[in-house]
Amino acid sequence: MTVNNPVRVFSIFMLLWLCLPHPTARAEDTPLNLLLVTLDGVRWQEVFGGVDLDLIEDKRYSKNPELLKKSYWHTQKTERRIRLFPFLWSTIATQGVLIGDRNQESFLEVGNLWWFSYPGYNEILTGQSDPAIVSNDRNWNANVTFLEILNGINGFNNRVMAFGSWDVFPYIINTQRSGLPVNAGLTTATPEATEQILRLNKASAYAPRLWPTVRLDFITHGYAMEALESQRPRVIYIAYGETDDFAHDGSYDRYIDAAHRTDRMLQDLWNWLQGDPFYRNQTVLIITTDHGRGNTPDGWPHHASARAMAKLDSQDGREGVPGSDQIWLAAIGPTIRSKGLIKGRWKQSQIAATALASLLLDPAKIMPEADQAMGRLLLH
Ligand SMILES: [Zn+2]
């Protein structure tokens, strides 16, 4: 092709320049997006310390300790954790923030009285703990989540979606009231049946059903990725669930493998977001969990407060499961500091306002009842 028109040459140069990666972190005039991810019941001990040798060697929990060791063990903690969570420890630890390493004076705890899932997700999403939520039953949540609030704000309308492996999420997000699309549990149908969705529906029908209320995470992940590509939400919440169920099953091997797979899914999501012109450098990723787990080999499969155990009128374990209120959080994005581990003390109820503030919105104005944002994680 010969080009001798100077205007045309200039236009081609402009076009080429526009196609180059932008040198600044974020274009100020383009809106920010949010991806919130929860990994059900993943302990801070594994996030910051990698696999736990006591649990690997405990015959009650590990069927194949040699394979677990070969895949994830290393004598150095820093090497161990990167083997288990390569995305968290390569990308987020260097470009974002982490909190919850109790050995390094960084503390994040649930504020609710129960230390199990529904109260935890409610606390994350509404910015308050609700003492009235005392079970994981399918009850419509009386509290309003920040997802519902965002959906009512100009620019976010109809661009907020949620995907969960556990079938209680439509109740937690109260789809009846909020009208938010929540694809969770064994749900397969979605309104826009793209080819990829039809394939996922089929995969979902063929996948083993290990638990009555929780589907496998690759299905949740697949639907979420497809929604990102075809529906371009500005706010997306993905709740992975396998980790908690494998732990309740008493399988440390599977809990660890599930945690590792989820880290790969996070990498997959982040790579995709950074390769897409709409999301690249404009998207905040926040990762956290609904509760911890016991901090001893006996307690590890479980989680509940003493009050929850008493309420269940359990004969054993009335003291609750120590450690299961201890959680963690990781975040990365254009409004998040790149500081690695941050020392301090925070509550689960601060996550909602932090998410809103990361979008440069004022939580005090739009969600005044929520606990305050974790300001030290944010650049502004
Ligand atoms: Zn659980």
DSSP 150-213: HHTSTTTTT-EEEEESBTTHHHHTTHHHH---EEETT----SS--HHHHHHHHHHHHS---SSS
C-alpha 281 – ligand 1 centre gap (Å): 34
C-alpha 5 – ligand 1 centre gap (Å): 68
- For the chain, count helices (H), then strands (E): 18, 11
Q: How far is residue 77's CA from residue 371's CA, in Å, rounded to a whole number?
A: 34
C-alpha 112 – ligand 1 centre gap (Å): 15
What the block records as the tokens of 378 is: 């944010």
Q: How far is residue 99's CA from residue 101's CA, in Å, rounded to a whole number?
A: 6
C-alpha 117 – ligand 1 centre gap (Å): 6
C-alpha 162 – ligand 1 centre gap (Å): 20
* Confidence (pLDDT) at 311: 79
Kindly give the parts of the chain with pLDDT less than 70. Answer: 1-29, 189-192, 313-318
* Confidence (pLDDT) at 88: 98
* Confidence (pLDDT) at 94: 97
C-alpha 338 – ligand 1 centre gap (Å): 32
* Confidence (pLDDT) at 30: 77
For 69-120, the pLDDT digits (tens) are 999 999 999 999 999 999 999 999 999 999 999 999 999 999 999 999 999 9
Start-to-end CA span in the chain (Å): 49
C-alpha 241 – ligand 1 centre gap (Å): 9
* Confidence (pLDDT) at 21: 41
C-alpha 245 – ligand 1 centre gap (Å): 6
Residues contacting 79, CB < 8 A, separation 6+: 50
C-alpha 34 – ligand 1 centre gap (Å): 26
Q: How far is residue 243's CA from residue 289's CA, in Å, rounded to a whole number?
A: 11
Helix (H) or strand (E) holding 331, with range, is strand 329-332
3-state secondary structure of 140: coil
Domain residue spans in the chain?
A: 29-377
Which of 293, 288, 294 has its CA nearest to residue 349?
Answer: 288
Residues contacting 136, CB < 8 A, separation 6+: 116, 117, 118, 168
C-alpha 332 – ligand 1 centre gap (Å): 27
C-alpha 40 – ligand 1 centre gap (Å): 7
Judge whether 128 and 370 are in contact, CB under 8 Å.
yes
> Which string of DSSP letters, residue by residue, matches 22-87?
PSSS--TTSPPEEEEEEETT--HHHHHH-S-HHHHT-TTT-S-HHHHHHHH--SSHHHHHHHH-HH
C-alpha 290 – ligand 1 centre gap (Å): 9
Report the CATH architecture of 29-377.
3-Layer(aba) Sandwich (3.40)
C-alpha 365 – ligand 1 centre gap (Å): 34
Statement: the pTM of the whole predicted model exceeds 0.75? yes
